[in-house]
Amino acid sequence: MRSIFIIILSVVCGFNATAQDVHNPLIPDAEKVWRSYQVLEKNKLAIIQQLDYLNNFPKTKDIFIAVFDPDDRKQLYYIYNDYLTAFEEAGKVLPDSVLKTGLGICKQMKWSSGVSDRFQHAVLVVAADHPEIFVEQAYRLKRKELEALIDYLADVESNPLCAIYQKLIANLHEVGAFNLEGMLTRAKKENTH
């Protein structure tokens, strides 16, 4: 009888741990991200797991919002920071993939505190560390998409984030991307809070 009680307790505790991590039921897009993140958590440095995570990460603003910032605050909202930190960390090894996905979402985003702010931070960090890749990905965008991306990235409020933004501008100057440097500089002056 005691062993049955222990088994039941283990099962219930296991379900409670899952319920604390996510707010079920998950939509299919959130489920994919959640599953790939669980595998990545076991070996954060494995490139294959990072690539799988990036492949399952949302590719559009609408899916990103549905997974990480839905109106009902369910899905992965309460643990979005862990997921966006993993996204940023993947940028150390796979900056091309992170920036391609990140800029694809950013070009449609509007800044707000919380999820949007944290995502902006992740993209800025990777872009500042890999300005050549940022330039390559940014110039693949249409003019209006590029302008929307610049507006979103320039809408920085916190001091540490401003430092990362300034680092991106300085690094763009170093690699000779004067056009993007100028766009980011002008946009920051226009978006000063």
Considering the chain, what is the average pLDDT of its residues?
87
**3-state class of 49 per DSSP?**
helix
Residue 161: pLDDT band by 50, 70, 90 thresholds?
Answer: low
Closest to 22 (Cα-Cα) out of 10, 9, 38, 8 = 38
**% of the chain exceeding 70 in pLDDT:** 83
16 class by beta-carbon count within 10 Å (0-12 exposed, 13-18 middle, 19+ buried): exposed
Amino acid at 75: Q
Residue 20: pLDDT band by 50, 70, 90 thresholds?
Answer: very low
pLDDT at res. 9: 41
pLDDT at res. 162: 85
Section 34-61 average pLDDT: 96
Residue 19 has pLDDT above 60, yes or no: no
> Torsion angle, CA of 81/82/84/88, rounded to 10 degrees?
120
Residue 175 has pLDDT above 60, yes or no: yes
- Helix H or strand E encompassing 116: helix 115-129
For residue 36, the number of C-alpha atoms closer than 13 Å in the C-beta half-sphere is 22
Section 18-36 average pLDDT: 79
